[in-house]
Amino acid sequence: MKPKHQRLVLAGAAVAALGIAAALALPALQDQAAYFYAPADVVAKGVAPGQAIRLGGLVEKGSLTRSADGLTIHFRVTDRLESVPVDYTGIVPDLFREGQGMIADGRFDADGTFKAETLLAKHDEKYMPPEVAKAVEKAEAAAKARPEKPAP
């Protein structure tokens, strides 16, 4: 076989291999396309227990409690539309507190509590992670669009 034909066959094989790899990878990544979840997304779509996700929102005021071990905290994350319970064991960032934006990586357990493995807090008073800001704006817009219920 001539060198020119060998190069064409090799290039064709490489393109075919890339196509097969993409065909196998895309279905596996389809559910992970929305890697970041706000509490309203979790409630609306549901997240399978054990699925690794990134959860973000605001730490709900009045929800932060500490366990006796001093390392475990329990709190609720909200986007002002829905809220989700979170447990985290480890050293908490200095800027982490109620009413502030945060993002956590972790998984939901079978009881519906998010078990955070890492916890990130905003770095100054004006900053809010872009994902959290978008989720809060979306939730506020949805809340305004809802018809108000008449008082009983």
Residue 123 known to bind ligand: yes
Task: From residue 121, give the alpha-carbon distance in Å to each of 10, 33, 71, 124.
Answer: 50, 23, 17, 9
Structural tokens at position 41: 């997304």
Choose among 37, 57, 64: nearest CA to 48.
Answer: 37
Residue count of the chain = 152
Task: Report helix, strand or coil for 53.
Answer: strand
127 is in an annotated binding site: yes
Per-residue HEC secondary structure of 1-41 comes to CCHHHHHHHHHHHHHHHHHHHHHHHHHHHHHHCCCEECHHH
- Residue ranges of the annotated binding site are 123, 127
- Residue ranges of the annotated binding site for heme are 123, 127
